[in-house]
Amino acid sequence: MIDKKLSKKLNVFLTIVDKPKKGIPIAIKDNYLTEGIRTTAASFVLDDYIPQYSATVVKKLEQNGYCVVGKTNLDAWCHGSSTETSDYGPTLNPHNTKHLAGGSSGGSAAAVASGMVDFAMGSETAGSVRGPASWCGVVGLKPTYGRVSRYGVIAMGSSLDSPGPITKDVTGAAKLLKIIAGKDEFDATTSGNLVDDYELALTGDIKGLKVGLVENYMLSEMDSEIVKKTLKAVGLLEKLGAKITKVKTLDPTHAIGVYTVVQRSEVSSNLARFDGVRYGFGRDKFGEEAKRRIMLGTHILSSGYQDRYYKKAQKIRTLFINDFNELFSEFDCLVGPTMPSTAPKIGVTKNAAMYGELADILAEPSSIAGLPAITVPCGMVKGLPIGLQIIGKQFEEGKILNTAFAYEQNKKDD
């Protein structure tokens, strides 16, 4: 069913299921446990790992008519925004194979963008769904933290991780979210809030919607074409009846530090369990990026540095939450560009220890606040796609999906 030649060319799938069950084909990022199907997290540590059970998300999708056709490439352990840290090599961008698909859910984004599947699952800590979706020209939804179960998803940053769909269109994202959202007794951080009917939310009517255009997400170093196209997309929302007001958020550069500290700390704890005793290989198989993150996290959490870095970061996290709360007391959603650039060329991450954190600057503030956000394609810049980002209040996925849907249905091809 999967075009194996194309998959090999772009390095999309790490495992292709030879005889998939009947159903709607879906590609699953290789950090989701899939019973009987190899799951590697793109690390040689788990090169031969066959899980004995499936993640809750995978189970729910299978119960609702979807079948897993393969497991997609990612940055090893989700550590990155390029797929260049994958022990199996990077995934190439279907729009231009000299460029990267992005990460960490790069395989899932490329699988959808290249037409191999219409539906895929990614997962996001900060930017890992939105980034590659934006760079590959597809839709990516990062749900509210706790809206979707993390059970059976190999953990990266446990206070941030949010499984999310990557799809051909907004309707596809709404369909998948409706299935995967909800409380799970195996993940105590999932919310008992009622799950909306996200497909019914797609009315396309955004008349009177109060939208904040985040001015300071238009970074000074950004390509002027990205700014222009983002403003054009926001202009269309206005034409459709939304009320646009320019707003400013807390400087997103501070979120880089918060995200780095929180994520490295949680990584060092989460990756301590991989010892090669119960499954997989030993810790000598960890790649450079994983080692770097584990050790820095260990440093940050060691006595004498906790207050300096970890507690300070968690306090600034509160400042970001307060800042968003204030904005959402006035606005239904916030909009801006998803990524500061288009997909970079292969090799960009060499010797750049902070590449991912810097590339994901526009996703980090909403991630550390646990907010939902969606990226929807809004044109091409120099032959590569860009995305419009729509951020919502916690558990208001319906609103951002509908805003993205209204845009998608009315935009003219670039």
Partner 1 sequence: MIKKLASLANLKVKKKEEEYFKKQFEETLKIVEKFDSLDTSGVDETYIVTGTKNVLREDKIDPLNMLTQDQALSGSKNTHNGYFVVDGVLNNDL
Judge whether 104 counts as a catalytic residue: yes
Query: Please, which residues have CB within 8 angstroms of residue 257's CB and are 6 or more apart in sequence?
Result: 313, 316
Among the options 29, 71, 142, 399, which is catalytic? 29
CB of 294 to partner 1, least distance (A): 5
Distances (CA, A) of 39 to 153, 279, 281: 10, 11, 13
DSSP for 93-161 reads ETTEEEEE--SSSHHHHHHHHTTS-SEEEEEESSSTTHHHHHHHTSEEEEPPTTTB--TTBPPS-TTT-
Residue 388 three-state SS? strand
Closest separation in Å from C-beta 150 to partner 1:
13
Query: Between 254 and 411, whose beta carbon lies closer to partner 1?
Result: 254
Residue among 307 and 413 whose Cβ is closer to partner 1: 307
Reported as type and span, the H/E element at residue 405 is helix 397-410
From the candidates 54, 86, 104, 105, which is the catalytic residue? Answer: 104
Binding site for partner 1 (CB under 8 A): 49-50, 52-53, 144-146, 159, 185, 188-189, 191, 253-254, 256-258, 260-261, 268, 272, 275-280, 283-284, 286, 291-292, 294-296, 298-299, 302, 309, 311-319, 321, 353-354, 357-358, 368-370, 394
Instruction: Report the residue number, 192 or 383, with the smaller CB distance to partner 1.
Output: 192
Smaller CB separation from partner 1, 64 or 158: 158
Helix (H, G, I), strand (E, B) or coil at 391: strand
- Closer CB to partner 1, 96 or 298, in the complex: 298
Q: Which amino acid is at 29?
A: K
**C-beta of residue 206 within 8 angstroms of C-beta of residue 237:** yes
Of 162, 165, 128, nearest in space to 145 by CA: 162
What is the nearest approach in angstroms of partner 1 to the Cβ of residue 222? 19
- Nearest approach, Cβ of 126 to partner 1 (angstroms)? 13
Q: How would you label 251-268 residue by residue, b for 16+ Cβ within 10 Å and e otherwise?
A: ebebbbebbbbbbbbbbb
Report in angstroms how near the CB of residue 119 gets to partner 1 at its nearest.
27
As measured in angstroms, the least distance from the Cβ of 209 to partner 1 is 24
Structure-token pair, residue 148: 């979707």
233 by Cβ neighbours in 10 Å (0-12 / 13-18 / 19+) ranks as: buried
Determine which one of 128, 149, 265, 268 is catalytic. Answer: 128
DSSP 3-state percent helix, strand, coil across the chain (nearest 5): 35, 20, 45
What is the smallest separation between the CB atom of 49 and partner 1, expressed in angstroms?
6
Given the complex with partner 1, which of 231 and 305 has the nearer CB atom?
305
Residues 163 and 142: their CA atoms lie apart, in Å, by 7
In 321-372 the beta strands, taken as DSSP E runs, fall at 333-337
Q: Which is nearer to partner 1, 42 or 316 (CB)?
A: 316
Known catalytic residues are 29, 104, 128
